Structure 1
Amino acid sequence: MEQFRLVIVTGLSGAGKTQVMRVLEDLGYFCVDNLPPALIPKFADLCSQSAGRVSRIALVVDIRGGEFFDKMVQVLEDMESQGILYEILFLEASDETLIRRYKETRRRHPLAAEGRVSEGITLERARLEKIRGRATHIIDTSELSTPQLKEKITALYSESTEHERMTITIVSFGFRHGLPLDADMVYDVRFLPNPHYVESLRRRSGMEAPVREYIWKWPITQQFTEKLLNLIDFLVPNYVKEGKSHLVIAVGCTGGMHRSVFIAEKLYAHLKNKGYKVNVEHRDVKHNLVEE
């Protein structure tokens, strides 16, 4: 059974808690925003008894809770006495950064509904001081871009290896049937020699040995495949580093029956051998067989 993990996300308003919750959701955490502190122990107990169905929880708790939030320290002490393990992720940023973010979004600070944002930030820092002192991790988001923050959160809370953090889908398709709408990158292989014009191969797919042998025997196919795999080896680790959770690579030929299928299978085998979570789909093979 997966180990139970409870992460309490808190910190200054405008420091990036919403972005962090989105990343944690992508990592498989059950996320709840603005939960009253008094309910945390009961909620954690309920989830811990779910037979592993809910084993990773992330809760945002901050000053929006008003008077409820002031009981946070007492709740944490009670949880410790009950043996409930938790982690606190505290987000902060400089006053200048927070003021700029509030001006850009035109939102009001929770503690400065009628006053200046700077006054609200000062009050909030004071109320959060004790919680900050209990933090497991403190992240200053002042100089972090969204991808950089995502990378930090993934490094801290992902329980997968680097290769397992992203799922890759290879899709072969035919241009005459339209582009896959969810493709992140598209490779056009219509320049490769076409088995369609070989009568004995026309009704066979790129997964069958005679078609594979025909496509692979041409030097241009071998040269292209080598360059493509080198490019993929450069791109994919950088997508993983950026924090992308799902990458769709589309390979297209005219009908989606021969060349795109062959190259997609090459990509699949290569990435699988590298240890990535990868699957392959041949979108238009059945469509072509029906047309035939």
Structure 2
Amino acid sequence: MEFVIITGMSGAGKSQAMKALEDMGYYCMDNLPPALLPKFAELCNQSKRNIEKVAVVVDIRGGVFFVDLFEGLEELNEQGIKYSILYLDALDQVLIKRYKELRRPHPLNPKGGILDGILEERELLKEVKNRADYIIDTSKFSIGMLKEEIYKIFLEGIELSKLTISVTSFGFKHGILLDADIVLDVRFIPNPYYIPELKDLTGEDEKVREYVFQWEQTNIFVDKLMDMLLYLIPYYIKEGKTQLIVGIGCTGGKHRSVAIADEIAIRLEEYGHRAIASHRDCKL
């Protein structure tokens, strides 16, 4: 029997991950107290329904029962049940934004600040995260992108790095990318904005991309940036980082930075890294 334990930060997408696994034929259970993991696994094994794939969500909604998680995992080992832990995470500011949009309090601090609850939860989940088999940082993910990641892991069996690299374009005139780990300025490249037939397009259009990459300095810059990222990524992974945000900035965030961010993400994917391109100011 395949047994998947979904856990992680509140607001990071555990429910959506469970729905994706349910669509893949997993028998799913939400908010299972950790102490009941061994018993639930035993019931599934003995079921006449011939349940072969199981996914359960275990998180801090279990309250004091969450301290029983490691005992429950040890009992699964004793029963000979192989399990994997899928950990969902997101940046603090992203989680705060999601809570505010839903107008929900944090479950650990229902009458206090959201950030206080998030920080407390991170501390509680630190050891669980360290033991996770798969970590997905959903900070830049849509529901569709999260579902695609789940499919890659559990349907296609692709071994994915625990580090998600978000290559994000932005425009300096709209403010610097505050959550970036690395920021690159590409305003040295000739600006398509001043070409009448390109002005109203974006870096996602082929004509703009061709214009941006016709310049030697663009291609040299991208090659050197790739060399730097490929050198740094193993060290970020070694340090336990799960989300690396690379900001690519131009003046307005519509043309040069967009084309280059897309190219960097494509190249990183070709090297086997989990990379996504996002564009903060492209539609402004």
TM-score range (shorter-chain normalised) is 0.5 to 0.7
State how far apart, in whole Å, the 2-side matches of 1:51 and 1:76 are. 19
2:230 aligns with 233
- 1:183 Cα offset (Å): 1.9
2:244 aligns with 247
Q: Which amino acid aligns with 2:166?
A: T
Matched, 1:85 2:81: yes
2:198 aligns with 201
Q: Which amino acid aligns with 1:3?
A: E
- 1:181 Cα offset (Å): 3.1
State how far apart, in whole Å, the 1-side matches of 2:189 and 2:217 are. 7
2:207 aligns with 210
1:99 aligns with none
- 1:277 Cα offset (Å): 2.1
1:183 aligns with 180
- 1:45 Cα offset (Å): 4.2
CA contact (8 A) 2:170 2:176 kept: yes
CA contact (8 A) 2:192 2:255 kept: yes
> What secondary structure does 2:204 align onto?
coil
State how far apart, in whole Å, the 1-side matches of 2:196 and 2:55 are. 56
Give % identity. 36
Q: Which amino acid aligns with 1:259?
A: R
State how far apart, in whole Å, the 2-side matches of 1:40 and 1:151 are. 18
- 1:240 Cα offset (Å): 2.2
State how far apart, in whole Å, the 1-side matches of 2:13 and 2:232 are. 21
CA contact (8 A) 1:170 1:249 kept: yes
- CA offsets, 1:10-39, max 9 Å, x none? xxxxxxxxxxx979x999999x9x966xx5
Q: Which amino acid aligns with 1:222?
A: N
CA 1:192–1:53 in 2, change beyond 3 Å: closer, same or farther? farther
Q: Kindly name which structure, 1 or 2, has the bigger radius of gyration based on alpha carbons.
A: 1
1:271 to 254, 263, 268: 268
1:3 aligns with 2
> What secondary structure does 2:254 align onto?
coil
1:282 to 276, 279, 282: 279
CA contact (8 A) 1:47 1:54 kept: no
- 1:242 Cα offset (Å): 2.3
CA contact (8 A) 1:170 1:281 kept: yes
- CA offsets, 1:126-179, max 9 Å, x none? xxxxxxxxxxxxxxxxxxxxxxx999745xx44886643222222111111123
Aligned Cα root-mean-square deviation (Å): 4.6
> What secondary structure does 1:269 align onto?
helix
2:87 aligns with none
> What secondary structure does 2:196 align onto?
coil
Q: Which runs of 5+ in 1 are unaligned?
A: 7-20, 63-68, 88-148, 288-292
CA 1:257–1:214 in 2, change beyond 3 Å: closer, same or farther? same
What TM-score do you get using the length of structure 1 for normalisation?
Answer: 0.51
How many residues align? The count is 196
> What secondary structure does 1:286 align onto?
coil
- 1:251 Cα offset (Å): 0.8
CA 1:253–1:40 in 2, change beyond 3 Å: closer, same or farther? closer
- 1:40 Cα offset (Å): 5.5
CA contact (8 A) 1:170 1:278 kept: yes
Written as runs of structure 1 = structure 2, the 5 A alignment for 1:15-30 is: none
